[in-house]
A and B are shown apart, each in its own frame.
Chain A
Amino acid sequence: MAGEIIKVSGLVHRYGDFEAVRGISFTVEEGEVFSFLGPNGAGKSTAINVLTTLLRIQQGSARVAGFDVATEPARVRESIGIVFQEVTLDRDMTCREILEFHGCLYRMPYGERRKRIEELLAVVELDAKRDTLTKHLSGGMKRRLEIARGLMTRPKVLFLDEPTIGLDPQTRRRMWDYIKAVNEEGTTIFLTTHYMDEADQLSDRISIIDHGQIIATGRGWDLKNRLAEDVIYLETTDNGRSQEIVGAMEGVTEVKEKTNGFVVLVNQDGTHLLPRIMDEIRGQGIRIVTVNLKKPSMDDVFVHFTGRNLRDERAERPSAAIARAGSR
């Protein structure tokens, strides 16, 4: 049943001389949650703007919901919903009016409009604020209202450009739940984010994008497995020699230098390998100062594929914090 609902090949987009999107190709299956994970300026919004026909396609081809964005933009527009990165709510309209306006733009019949508005206000828990002007809503409420707006027309594909930016952790989780629920009802979701945990938790597949190019695509665990089975972080009294010793051991795929220590990527169960590694190092008379073992996180995956940290990632989980400390 599932087919390709988004198909992009060789997409290039320039602003003047600057190439913001540099030849990306990917497909999104119907019914999946697909993420673009990348730092600020990676070209995520530019790609979304082309797919949603706000920017005219310059080079390459893109089909959304079965229609070509270049030749059938009106068809594409009818099939999609968008939640923009920035707030785009009219400050002087009420929540209900915002949804009403949107429904009218898409020519929803009166009765259906009314029904949908009630449903959605309940879903995003804004019932009590229905007649409040949007300028009197909190940031999280605005975001929720925008998501509700994106869902008004039951689009086939919903584009979410950094949907949880600026939300508190609790609201973010609720947002993820909404997004998952919407997806379960059959809407394909295309989302961009620069939060690894968001990409990891929410998406079926992730494309890591940086400097306008897709660097890796796959399922979260797939990307992590591609990197390593386990990640070991070590600090010793002689990191240089320790790295040589460990690098020569069986099961070790890569050793990476860090400021105070080094990271070891291993392709077998780390809980068994770690004691052996420690024995080897100690056997050479080197003292081990710190040791840490973990499964690779999206952070590690990202650092691995792009060669650097996300430029503005915040620490959410201890493991992420450790990885960052280790890579500093």
Chain B
Amino acid sequence: MSVQSALPRQLQGQAAGDLMHFGFLTIYWRDMIRFVRFRTLLVSSLVQPALWMAFFGIAMSASFNRLTPDVPPIPGVPTIGYLTFMAAGVIAMTTLFTSLFGGMVLLFDKNWGLLREVMASPLPRDHVIFGIALSGMTKSFIQALIIMVFGMLLGAEFFRGYSAGEVAISVLGILLFVGIFSLGFLFLSAAIAISLESPEGMQGIMTLMTMPIFFASNALYPVNAFPPVLQAVSVGNPLTHLVNGIRYFAIGDRYQAIGVLYTITPSGLLFSLSVLVLFALAMFGLAWWRFQRAVVT
């Protein structure tokens, strides 16, 4: 009948299960086309973080900076302004929002029947997850870079006293943290999207989730004033670890802000990274499981 069915079964299996399968790039390519072509989405996703920085940053830093002079600075430790402190938080939050909503496109694809083509094709389903995650990660990278540049224009003191080489390494470090964090939430988002029917429902779940993640973290204020329970939550919160990583690379391993001393040791940094990696792996597992069960007609 055909060459293919004449092949021994094992050989056929090899051809399809091929590890060097870049099918996810196809999904990535398509999602990026849409991102670029859908002007409002593109512009809003680029302008929104900048607006956050501009309004929130300037307003908040004015009031925080008015409070902090009362606290005596610790000698020998560099003091940073609130704008610098929160700029790292804004990168983290923007990554969180973008990633959590990154899977939404799957829900629309599913509802409009576009996902059928993909599900009926030989493309392994984990490639759909990877493709969407990769494009979400790309968007997060772009946003993170915009905030860094825009924040520094506004007066955030990132990379103070760094050499060009150190800046390059630090930016890569930040992108590493942002990347792994965004993968985790994109996997989660994809898992939710493939399991739900309505965008409104997904919107609701996202809002419910962002609240605690956002508030029980060190993104915009120090956590040492939290009650112990919240502090514990904050330690398990991926957002806290992302913020740790960004601040380590952008500001340094020892600084004070809002009258609080921050130190991050290399092992602390590694711990934060590990938490993010574990989170991403767990979320991938969740997404994989949901996708194996997904029925799209």
Contact = CB atoms under 8 A, between A and B. Distances in A.
A192 to B, nearest CB: 14
A93 B30 CA distance: 8
B33 A84 contact: no
Interface string A51-69: 0111110000000011100
A107 B119 contact: no
A52 B120 contact: yes
Interface stretch (A74-82, A168-176, A194-202, A221-229): A74-82
A101 interface: yes
Interface stretch (B109-117, B206-214, B223-231): B109-117
B297 A49 contact: yes
B121 interface: yes
B2 A156 contact: yes
A74 B122 contact: yes
Interface in A67-101: 67, 74-75, 77-80, 82, 84, 86-90, 92-93, 97, 101
Interface in B80-128: 112-114, 116-124
Interface residues of A, number: 36
A105 interface: yes
Contacts of B120: 52-54, 77, 80, 82
Contacts of B117: 82, 84, 88, 102, 105, 149
Contacts of B254: none
A84 B26 contact: no
Max count, chain B CB within 10 A of own CB: residue among A56, A77, A88? A88
A88 B114 contact: yes
Interface in B17-46: 21, 23, 25-26, 29-30, 33-34, 37-38
Contact of A78 (B33, B119, B122): B122
A131 to B, nearest CB: 13
Contact of A105 (B12, B23, B112): B23
A106 B23 CA distance: 8
Contacts of A78: 4, 16, 122
21 contacts: A54-B120, A54-B297, A66-B1, A74-B16, A74-B122, A75-B12, A77-B122, A82-B116, A82-B120, A84-B113, A87-B113, A90-B34, A92-B34, A92-B38, A93-B33, A93-B34, A104-B25, A105-B26, A105-B122, A107-B23, A149-B117
Interface of B: 1-2, 4-5, 12, 16, 21, 23, 25-26, 29-30, 33-34, 37-38, 112-114, 116-124, 295-297
Interface of A: 3, 5, 30, 49, 52-56, 65-67, 74-75, 77-80, 82, 84, 86-90, 92-93, 97, 101-102, 104-107, 149, 156
